[in-house]
Amino acid sequence: MPRRERVRQATVEEIKAVARAQMAAEGTAAVTLRAIAREMGMTAPALYRYFGSRDDLVTALVTDAYNALADAMEAAVEAVPPGRHGDRVRAAFGAFRAWGLGQPTEFALIFGSPIPGYVAPEATRPAGLRYTDLLGRLLADAHADGALDPARIDLRVPPALARQVEAFQRRRGGPALPAPVLAFGLGAWARVHGLVTLEVFGHLAPAVGDGTALFEQELEVIVRQSGLPD
């Protein structure tokens, strides 16, 4: 990479880093071009050399956040031996929660309605699918190994839901899972998502304060219901 390109890339990274810092320190409202430029010893219009608009910058932050979340989850999963499906699921969801609690503003950027007037453009879609794809792979691996207990999972799935779920699988390709298995996976995802968003956004605090115990409980329920051994 030519020097020119390299220093430019470094500036782009610095802008995003400063934006993230300001966001973490003062909330999403503090992400103003002028404040970022001031921190960097520049003027606001200079930032337009690097991002077409403030929304473009936010979009980059959203994409980065999705990727950081997926990276954290993938690293956690890969630290567990491939065969131990239960522990891999625990690791994935645990990393999801840990990342959310560790970077609440970035978590909010993704899963809250981030910034007024800003709607996530299509460009964030691929990054946003990474962590759900990971969860899907976990489910598919466990199913391929026969580790899922069909007797427990086989909730009677109504035909309408089965059709939707099968259409989804055709769209996304990859290994085909039975509708009840995929429906179970979607349910597990929603459960964890609900618990973690409630906790990160402070809605859970009035009830249990620290949500760790409740989260681990929910994790055990999921693992036990799936019939995964470990």
Partner DNA sequence: CACTGTTGTTAATGCTGTTTACTCTACCGT
Partner DNA sequence: ACGGTAGAGTAAACAGCATTAACAACAGTG
**Interface residues toward a second copy, by CB under 8 A:** 26-31, 108, 111-119, 125, 128-129, 132, 155, 157-158, 160-161, 164-165, 168, 183, 186-187, 189-195, 197-198, 201, 203, 206-210, 212-214, 216-218, 220-221
Whether the CB-CB separation of 220 and 90 falls below 8 Å is answered with: no
Q: Which of 44, 68, 157, 162 binds DNA (CB under 7 A)?
A: 44
Give, as ranges, the residues between 87 and 116 that touch DNA (CB under 7 A). none
Give, as ranges, the residues between 14 and 43 that touch DNA (CB under 7 A). 31-35, 37, 41-43
Residue recorded with tokens 């681990």: 216
Residues 6+ apart with CB under 8 A from 35: 22
Q: Which of 39, 55, 133, 216 binds DNA (CB under 7 A)?
A: 55
Q: What is the closest distance, in whole angstroms, from the C-beta atom of residue 14 to DNA in the complex?
A: 10
Whether the CB-CB separation of 131 and 110 falls below 8 Å is answered with: no
11 burial via Cβ count (<10 Å: 0-12, 13-18, 19+): middle
- Type of residue numbered 102: G
Residues within the interface to DNA (CB under 7 A): 2-4, 8, 11, 31-35, 37, 41-46, 48-50, 53-55
